[in-house]
Structure 1
Amino acid sequence: MAEITATYPDITVHDTMPKLLALNARTHPNDTWLREKDLGIWISYTWAQVAERVRNITLGFTTLGVARGDVVGLLGDNRPEWLMGEIATHALGGMSLGIYRDALADEVAYLVTYADVAVVFAEDEEQVDKLLSLDEKIPTVRHIVYADPRGIRKYDDPRLISLKELEARGAVEAARDSGAYDRLVAQGKAEDVAILCTTSGTTSHPKLAMLTGGALLRHCRAYLEMDPRTSADEYVSVLQMPWIMEQIYAFGQALISRMKVNFVEEQETLMADMREIGPSFVLFAPRVWEQIAADVRSRMMDSSALKRGMFELGMKLGLKALEQGRRSPLADFILFRALRDRLGFSHLKSAATGGAALGPDTFRFFLALGVPMRQLYGQTELLGAYTLHKAQDVDFDTVGVPFDGVEIRIDDPDPNGLGEVVTRHGNAFTGYFRNDEETAKSFVDGGWMRTGDAGFFNDRGHLVVIDRIRDMARTEHGDRFSPQYIENKLKFSPYVAEAVVLGDGRDSLAALICIRFSIVSKWAEKNRISFTTYTDLSARPEVIALLRKEVEAVNRTLPEKQRIGRFLLLYKELDADDGELTRTRKVRRGVINERYGTIIDAMYAGEKVIDVDTTITFQDGTRQRIKTTLDVIDLGAPPRRDDDTRRRAA
């Protein structure tokens, strides 16, 4: 590790992201930094090329009147231009505000007006349309810079300017004053607020955490001590750019280590593009890992009996070897080597999951497969992850150990040591943007920050995080349980996309379950079960019977008092556009309890069938009426025969 560490630049001198970019462009001008797949072709950008474009964008911003302290919004997919626009904002002394690409117009309006965004850096026609539809709701926006001109030439809004034109303006400014950009970069200081990073917003509108460039780089440097990178490493940028961990990897760590950052063509081509790149490191949110595991099982449904048998044998051998702390050479030969290649994981040296808890069954699956999984833990306010498993000390029930310089304590522990996780380190955020009241609530004496998470340290010194404190629940009999823990076990099933476990203050536990439509529909077709829509499929008695078996299998792994007593299959998927999930796919439990309160009450009232007549609104504004009945499955009662189940869906 010492040899790798010695190659990193001195971030006390090169203490901002624009300064690091300038250093790398000067010392390694022809090395590739960024790659993007466009129309099936990989396009590469060297450090020198990126630096030139960032210079032109920065000086182009000055022609629009953007000044030090202004806020620039960035809206769209992960693309090299986003990264260039963000670094250009920091070079100018501005603050970047990333907005999730799938944010609805009202969400965009809230963030833009709250932060007084002067310029929005939009990717394409879809995002431009979103902004133009807001009209007077975003009065602070003076300019909208778009990267992809397709479909936009027909617009005549005076705020619109293409990225190509902006860079051309910047090039003219650079020719007029060759030292202008360098002077701007030199004025930047480590303590300048560079990033306004949105929090997850599980209970209300997201807050904006103010992150300085110096703190981000110092924290990335500490991270690299735990999990080193070099210029030979390949990273695929998958997580949405506004998320703090993508800021850490695609920006901070990449600038320090010079690892290559790759951008896939579309989300739908992710796995194929990854196979072409063969990344050495990936970070996925838990739901992506869950989806990959589910897709593997789904493909096995369509394979021959021989392949299914080899898969089952390989998994059995692999999991047994994992329990013994080793790998199975036979399992690797008959299954895992080919599967890793198919998934693009053959060259992985490190793989991580974060943002929420990953179920232990999913974790075991990938460890057995030979994926070097590690779990990390952190918060936006504390610059993302600050605990991680060490390479030879992975425990899927924990989130690892703290980075150097990070202090963690457990406040108000119960007799078992379970209490609130409270953290302190020197690279925390400087506060919430324009929200001193919430900033004061987050800290306790001595600079310690309350995380709001319940956890404890195990005998090995690993941190174990159970759930959000506010989400920890007790039945009316006083039995304590973690909804998230049980939900993660349910979601290991390839047929379960989402689950919400209920039971706080109730006599028993219950669950609302959303089927994974892509896989359940394939299962239904294979078994010659007719259906039309998601609602219709989830209403089929055969599907209910299938999910009952999955829930019962999970119940067998749980203590008796934490088992699910009843469940139903929801008539729609939980959706971030409906406010039911955050943009990072965390459940908003308050919204669920309010929106489905009548259904929940009916479940606990002992109703066997619940009538539903509701209207849902899609992202494009269209509305659909759903009229159906939901069967409440009582797991204490024997399964009903198919002809006993009466459902209707429209």
Structure 2
Amino acid sequence: MTRSTGDRVHDWPDVTQHDTFPKLLARNAAKHPDDIWLREKDLGIWISYTWKDVADRVEAITLGLESLGVRRGDVVALLGDNRPEWLMGEIAAHALGGMSLGVYRDALADEVAYLVTYADVAVVFAEDEEQVDKLLSLDDKIPTVRHIVYSDPRGIRKYDDPRLIGLKALEERGRAVAAKDPNRYARFVSLGQGADVAILCTTSGTTSHPKLAMLTAGAVLKHCRAYLDMDPRGPADEYVSVLQMPWIMEQIYAFGQALISRMKVNFVEEPETLMADMREIGPSFVLFAPRVWEQIAADVRSRMMDSSALKRAMFELGMKLGLKALDQGKRSALADFILFRALRDRLGFTHLKSAATGGAALGPDTFRFFLALGVPMRQLYGQTELLGAYTLHKAGDVDFDTVGVPFDGVEIRIDDPDPNGLGEVVTRHANCFTGYFRNDDETRKSFAEAGWMRTGDAGYFNDKGHLVVIDRVRDMAKTAHGDRFSPQYIENKLKFSPYVAEAVVLGDGREGLAALLCIRFSIVSKWAEKNRIAFTTYTDLSAKPEVIALLRREVEEVNKTLAEKQRIGRFLLLYKELDADDGELTRTRKVRRGVVNERYGTIIDAMYAGDAVIDVDTTITFQDGSKQRVRTTLDVIDLGAPAPGGSRRAA
């Protein structure tokens, strides 16, 4: 199927015929064998894989898995960084009629054990020694795992666990099978159907263990086609895979859309080299979570702290001109000349045609920053159960207060709206999940009727027909005086500050609003060094009176942009960062409010009781299992009172 978009013609396949991932791979390898699909940076060198390279390796891995006893219906898990081998292992699992289950690379051992045992995983692809150690430490907690396939042998040769097998050895087994039966892999691929469940995708799990959404290959591919109709791309386009592969949107972009559009997918060497590697690639499309966009904006401001007075003045002038032009629906040529052109090049954004954010709300101030910079930002919205995004801004119709308009074939309604039209977002389209794996009760609860799915989000349609999503329905709050507010909206405004990493806004059923803030250590530490403020640890730095005063000014600036009833009255700086490893955040960095309210309940109650200082004596457990006792006092900052002159003690 050929589609023309502007001056580009895309040879997109018919996904009703090529209705599985292995079928699409075989089609692309046959028609475009020497075209590059994947690139990976290793030891400073970009290594390329053509469609034929990938197809050959997938065939070997598939037959290797079969030789290990993997059969139709088995679950194959993948654990590690985004790498070409992840995609190859996933397609190989599908070729055998199995289901793939992505596990977040930073998941703790207990989280891995839960997912592996719940899904009866037969084989795990583990990237390296770190992930292998995590699995071996579980011992008999993962009895269903028959084999652990590792791709990086460094440090693993010393192990003698019979379940371990190297990826190279697995591929050699597969090639031996192919030599005896050259058509065996093709027969497996031909047996696959679009109606087969191919992916078990973890939900965000903001309230409990994540559920596993069952996604069929045909539904994923048809939904990817609908997405490409809204935001087209083709073989000349470059994409940098940054977000962890288990997330539904990375599956849609780096996997489904790439197989259809044949855009090139690039894998950076390390998360720390992201910006440098991305600048070398010059991607035409990127998809970042809000926390990544927030970090990039914060890093830009951080670098400006170290620049000369002239450069800081040019930055401020450029931003002022750019934002003013943006508010008028224009671009500032002068701002582009003195600031934005060079900044886009520095960030690797020069060739961007589309940049998306999703997974959580992005603060409007951060959105405006990138739009003024000339980054073609679009907000998307969706859920894992509905195959990721199903709304998106159209090119030339971007409104940073909304999440855009629905794809073709997507229906959205607002249930139980209030007088302002605000209610629960309920959605229906043909390409949604088939239910939760081994959880019929939760599947029934998710659907309203006739295929309509409750999203759990509060939203409304504005006058332009754009969907506006405010917050989770359960998180929409009222003060004791009946004043409604959205914690997430205020938190996003707070996190636009380069000094604020996380924020939790409180006040439901209480007298006014308060906030727990976590400093962005990398930037606040640099600020402290520049201002000759000595510190040792995160706890010590957040204890400094100068840092408290700095954050007070940031909160006061945000308060000026809020309605009077929605302003923060009190806040404090937590002695530690909120952490997914502690269950305080999901793996996609959404706040688990129930956990936060329970864990810091004593501190929260003391804030609302009017305490000016709160004593803390607790223990922090690190990812490696080590523990540290923290004894400190937290100053509660009352924004209706003068700045305190005292200081906190930290130990």
Same fold (TM over 0.5): yes
Q: 1:160 and 1:261 mapped to 2: Cα distance? A: 29
Identity of aligned residues (%): 86
Aligned letter for 2:600?
A: Y
The answer as to 2:231 corresponding to 1:227 is yes
1:382 to 372, 380, 386: 386
Superposed CA offset, 1:300-351 (max 9, x none):
0000000000000000000000000010000000000000000000000000
SS in 1 for 2:138: helix
**8 Å CA contact 1:120, 1:145 repeated in 2:** yes
Query: Which residue does the alignment assign to 1:646?
Result: 647
Q: 2:500 and 2:407 mapped to 1: Cα distance? A: 35
Query: Which residue does the alignment assign to 1:572?
Result: 576
2:145 to 141, 147, 158: 141
Query: Which residue does the alignment assign to 1:545?
Result: 549
Superposed CA offset, 1:213-254 (max 9, x none):
000000000000000010000000000000000000011000
Superposed CA offset, 1:37-60 (max 9, x none):
000000000000000000000000
Query: Which residue does the alignment assign to 2:533?
Result: 529
Q: 2:72 and 2:545 mapped to 1: Cα distance? A: 62
Q: 1:580 and 1:442 mapped to 2: Cα distance? A: 24
Query: Which residue does the alignment assign to 2:326?
Result: 322
Query: Which residue does the alignment assign to 2:414?
Result: 410
Q: 1:449 and 1:2 mapped to 2: Cα distance? A: 33
2:430 to 415, 420, 426: 426
**8 Å CA contact 1:406, 1:425 repeated in 2:** yes
- The 5-angstrom pairing of residues 602-617 of structure 1 reads 602-617=606-621
1:86 to 90, 98, 110: 90
1:298 to 298, 302, 308: 302
Query: Which residue does the alignment assign to 2:51?
Result: 47
Query: Which residue does the alignment assign to 1:2?
Result: 4
Q: 2:545 and 2:383 mapped to 1: Cα distance? A: 42
Q: 2:528 and 2:176 mapped to 1: Cα distance? A: 61
1:170 to 169, 174, 177: 174
> 1:647, CA displacement in angstroms?
1.4
- The 5-angstrom pairing of residues 171-190 of structure 1 reads 171-190=175-194
Query: Which residue does the alignment assign to 1:264?
Result: 268
Q: 2:254 and 2:300 mapped to 1: Cα distance? A: 28
**8 Å CA contact 1:611, 1:629 repeated in 2:** yes
After the TM superposition, which segments of 4 or more aligned residues of structure 1 sit over 4 Å from their partners?
A: 3-6
Aligned letter for 1:647?
A: R
> 1:646, CA displacement in angstroms?
3.0
> 1:6, CA displacement in angstroms?
5.4
- The 5-angstrom pairing of residues 47-196 of structure 1 reads 47-196=51-200
SS in 1 for 2:596: helix
Q: 2:260 and 2:451 mapped to 1: Cα distance? A: 27
Superposed CA offset, 1:89-112 (max 9, x none):
000100000000000000000000
Q: 1:206 and 1:46 mapped to 2: Cα distance? A: 35
Aligned letter for 2:4?
A: A
Q: 2:301 and 2:16 mapped to 1: Cα distance? A: 49
Q: 1:361 and 1:42 mapped to 2: Cα distance? A: 36
**8 Å CA contact 2:10, 2:261 repeated in 1:** no
Q: TM-score, normalised by structure 1?
A: 0.99
> 1:517, CA displacement in angstroms?
0.3
Query: Which residue does the alignment assign to 2:483?
Result: 479
> 1:547, CA displacement in angstroms?
0.3
**8 Å CA contact 1:613, 1:625 repeated in 2:** yes
SS in 1 for 2:229: helix
Aligned letter for 1:89?
A: A
- The 5-angstrom pairing of residues 453-468 of structure 1 reads 453-468=457-472
**8 Å CA contact 1:359, 1:492 repeated in 2:** yes
Superposed CA offset, 1:41-81 (max 9, x none):
00000000000000000000000000000000000000000
Query: Which residue does the alignment assign to 1:200?
Result: 204
CA shift in 2, pair 1:303/1:146, >3 Å: same
Q: 2:285 and 2:630 mapped to 1: Cα distance? A: 44
Q: 2:417 and 2:343 mapped to 1: Cα distance? A: 44
Superposed CA offset, 1:339-373 (max 9, x none):
00000000000000000000000000000000000
2:367 to 363, 367, 378: 363
The answer as to 2:610 corresponding to 1:598 is no
SS in 1 for 2:443: helix
> 1:5, CA displacement in angstroms?
6.7
Structure 2 residue ranges without an equivalent (≥5): none
Q: TM-score, normalised by structure 2?
A: 0.99
Query: Which residue does the alignment assign to 1:391?
Result: 395
**8 Å CA contact 1:5, 1:225 repeated in 2:** no
